[in-house]
Amino acid sequence: MPARRPRPRRRARREARDRGPGLAVPRVFSVAGVDPYAAVAWRRRNARIDDAEGRPVFEQRGVEAPASWSDQAVDLVASRYFAGRLGTAARERSVRALVARVVGTVAGWVRAGGVLAGAGDAAAFEAELASLLLQQRASFNSPVWFNVGVEPQPQCSACFILGVEDHLPSILELATVEGRVFSRGSGAGSNFSALRASSEPTRTGGLAAGPVAFLRGLDALAGAVKSGGRTRRAAKMAILDADHPDVLAFVESKAIEEARARALAAAGLDRLDGAHGPSVAFQNENHSVRLPDAFLRAVARDGAWTLRPRTAAGRPTKVRARDLLRAAARAAHDCGDPGVQFADTIERWNPVPVTGPIRATNPCAEFVFLDDTACNLASINVLAFRDPVRGVDVDRLAAAVRVLTIAMETLVGHASYPTPRIADRSARLRPLGLGVTNLGALLLSLGLPYDGDAGRALAAGVMALVGGEATRTSARLAARLGPFDAWAANRAPALAVLGRHVRAAHRLDRRLVPAALRAAAVEAWDDAAARAAADGLRNAQVTAIAPTGTISFLMDCDTTGVEPALALRQEKSLTEGGVLRLVLRCLPAALEALGYDAATAAGVLAHVDATGGVDGAPGLAPDHADVFRTALPTRPGGPALPARAHLAMMAALQPFVSGAISKTVNLPADATVEDVEATFLEAWRLGLKAVAVYRDRSKVTQPLAPAAPPVCTASSGCD
- 335 labelled catalytic: no
Secondary element (H or E) of residue 691? strand 690-695
Among residues 141, 362, 376, 490, the one annotated as catalytic is: 362
Q: What is the DSSP string of 640-676?
A: ---HHHHHHHHHHHGGG-SS-B--EEEE-TT--HHHH
- 571 labelled catalytic: no
Cα gap 712→56, rounded to integer Å: 18
What's the gap between Cα 503 and its chain centre?
25
Cα gap 667→693, rounded to integer Å: 7
Other Cβ atoms less than 10 A from the Cβ of 636: the count is: 7
Question: Under a CB-based contact definition with an 8 Å cutoff, are residues 514 and 458 in contact?
Answer: yes
Secondary element (H or E) of residue 633? none
Secondary element (H or E) of residue 514? none
**In b/e form, how buried is each residue of 558-576, taking b as 16+ CB within 10 angstroms?**
bbbbbbbbbbbbbeebeee
What's the gap between Cα 393 and its chain centre?
24
Among residues 156, 159, 335, 364, the one annotated as catalytic is: 364
- 362 labelled catalytic: yes
16 phi, psi to nearest 5 deg = -65, -40
Question: Under a CB-based contact definition with an 8 Å cutoff, are residues 719 and 547 in contact?
Answer: yes
Cα gap 389→548, rounded to integer Å: 27
Among residues 366, 409, 563, 677, the one annotated as catalytic is: 366
CA distances from 231 to 61, 156, 227, 228, 713 (A): 19, 19, 7, 8, 12
The stretches of 536-689 forming alpha helices (DSSP H) are: 549-554, 587-593, 598-611, 643-653, 673-685
Task: Identify which of 678, 685, 648, 673 has the alpha carbon closest to the alpha carbon of residue 663.
Answer: 648
Catalytic residues: 362, 364, 366
